[in-house]
Amino acid sequence: MKANRRNFLKLSGIAGLGMAAAPLVTSCDSRSKNDEHTRLDHIHKQATQRHTQTFNMSGYAAPALDQVRIGFIGVGNRGAAAVERMSYIEGVAITALCDIREERTIQAEERIKRPVHQPARYGGKEEGWKAVCEREDIDLVYICTHWELHAPIAVYAMEHGKHVAVEIPAATTVEDCWKLVTTSERTKRHCVILENCCYDFFELLTLNLVRNGFFGELVHGEGAYIHDIMSSLFDREKRYDLWRLKENTRRNGNLYPTHGIGPICQAMSVNRGDCMDYMVSMSSNDFMIKDAADKYIKTDPSYGSYVGDNIRGNINTSIIRTKRGRTIMLQHDVTTPRPYSRIHLLSGTRGTAQKYPLPGRISSSHDGWLDEEAMRTLEAQYTPPLVKKLGELAREIGGHGGMDFLMDWRLIDCLRNGLPVDMDVYDAASWSVVSPLSEWSVANGSLPITVPDFTNESWKNNRPVDISLAEGGTTQVIGA
């Protein structure tokens, strides 16, 4: 059976290359066929690439930093909020703030809670971020720009001796995912993906339950990014140069997979005992985005320059199979009026967890969902030390209910104590690569495509870094 599957994948890959020359075009793909063929062909070639690992970043503990000097690049909504959160944390020096919109650097500085921070400001220049990366008094570059700049800035910063923390997705192409990996290995600098959902309280609870065998052997996981942000796609004040509208009208696939897949990969120890093998992806037609775009263009023709022809289907569903035979289902939907959901379902041989619809629910064996009293008992026993220590303070400081602050605090504590980071470059690459791979599968009639093994098979021996047991932190929170 394994041989048959390998033959099928080999044949489907060959067929896929042929189909890429004349893609199975749906009504939401009318861009230049030659350009699209070239791009999709490149995705397939990069997906089957292998590399010789020069250094294993999994479990790597960089030399401890007594003080973490941070340069923030991109201080719009996400970045400015991170500046404020970091200003509460001991051992942090906010050294630089950078944004193409100079007024944003001023606004971000105003959110700093302690006068000890006196950052330099860089604004108004397209490549002002390079000067931040080149500074000698920065240890960590924190990247919150639009997606296309994530990987170029991260690579440049690591090449200049900086650790990087990069917003999601860490890269939008397979090629850039590989660049992140090879650069991190060569420079021995951390490339941490800022996937805050891995630090949400229910996700941490279920991770701790997984580590304690509560669910038995995990069989399947489901995650999603279902968030109606349709109106904001066209809001010039929300995002610089309408960059997210461009993404959604030029790329058809799962453009934002990491909220859903990150916590599942942590639970399944992907890259540390398991590895994604291959995936398939399917998109609906677009029933909404083009109609909305046409209405905006009628009143303001300049919108036409932002809207491409490869408009994303409203709902994308992708399915991934791991080397150990588990399955992961992901959905992406940012335009239909569905209630917000990340699903977060873990299904095992002895139990199940699911967060949405709220509140999070857990079942044990075949007995159905636990009642409220049983849930309270379970939470009392298995709430992770990290949440017990900082949960209430994190809720007070904020950031998506506190998970953003837990993420930032944990990163700083790891850097200050010379600990391995929770999410390394292999996570950044493998969680982000789902997006371009989904584009290829969608364009080729949902054929399977290989998920690159960015660890070069070191996943077989890598050990999990267990966020849920992160209790030994020494970093204090000041002024909250």
* pLDDT, tens only, 360-391: 999 987 778 999 999 999 999 999 999 999 99
How far apart CA 191 and CA 183 sit, in angstroms, is 9
Q: What percent of the chain has pLDDT over 70?
A: 92
How far apart CA 421 and CA 163 sit, in angstroms, is 11
pLDDT, residue 228, reads 97
pLDDT, residue 309, reads 86
pLDDT, residue 238, reads 87
* Annotated domain spans of the chain: 1-61+196-386+427-466
**HEC assignment per residue over 314-342:** CCEEEEEEECCCCEEEEEEECCCCCCCEC
Q: What are the backbone dihedrals phi and psi of residue 365, each rounded to the nearest 5 degrees, phi first?
A: 55, -130
Which class in CATH covers the domain with range 1-61+196-386+427-466?
Answer: alpha beta
**Nearest to residue 159, comparing CAs of 143, 137, 142, 179?**
179
Q: What is the phi-psi region of residue 28: left when phi exceeds 0, alpha when psi lies from -120 to 50, beta otherwise?
A: alpha
Average the pLDDT over 58-76 and give the result.
Answer: 97
Contact in structure between 126 and 240 (CB atoms under 8 Å): no
Q: What are the backbone dihedrals phi and psi of residue 137, each rounded to the nearest 5 degrees, phi first?
A: -105, 35
pLDDT, residue 473, reads 72
pLDDT, residue 358, reads 77
Residue 472 has pLDDT above 90, yes or no: no
User: What is the residue-averaged pLDDT of the chain?
Assistant: 91
Q: What percent of the chain has pLDDT over 90?
A: 81
Alpha helix (H) residue ranges in 72-188: 77-86, 102-110, 128-134, 147-159, 174-187
Residue 181 has pLDDT above 90, yes or no: yes
Whether the ω angle into residue 357 lies within 30 degrees of 0, i.e. cis, is yes
Q: Three-class SS of residue 167?
A: coil
**Among 32-41, 158-167, 211-220, 415-424, where is mean pLDDT lowest?**
32-41
The residue among 363 and 26 whose pLDDT is bigger is 363
The residue among 391 and 480 whose pLDDT is bigger is 391
CA distances from 379 to 2, 213, 383, 398 (A): 41, 15, 5, 21
Q: Which two tokens stand for residue 171?
A: 């890269």
The distance of Cα 134 from the centroid of its chain, to the nearest Å, equals 26
Contact in structure between 316 and 282 (CB atoms under 8 Å): yes
How far apart CA 428 and CA 166 sit, in angstroms, is 9
pLDDT, residue 24, reads 38
Q: What is the pLDDT of residues 383-405, one digit of tens each?
A: 999 999 999 999 999 999 999 99
Residue 18 has pLDDT above 60, yes or no: no
pLDDT, residue 383, reads 95
Q: What is the pLDDT of residues 111-159, one digit of tens each?
A: 998 888 899 999 989 899 999 999 999 999 999 999 999 999 999 999 9
The residue among 471 and 249 whose pLDDT is bigger is 249
pLDDT, residue 480, reads 66
pLDDT, residue 6, reads 45
pLDDT, residue 10, reads 42
Q: What are the backbone dihedrals phi and psi of residue 340, each rounded to the nearest 5 degrees, phi first?
A: -55, 135
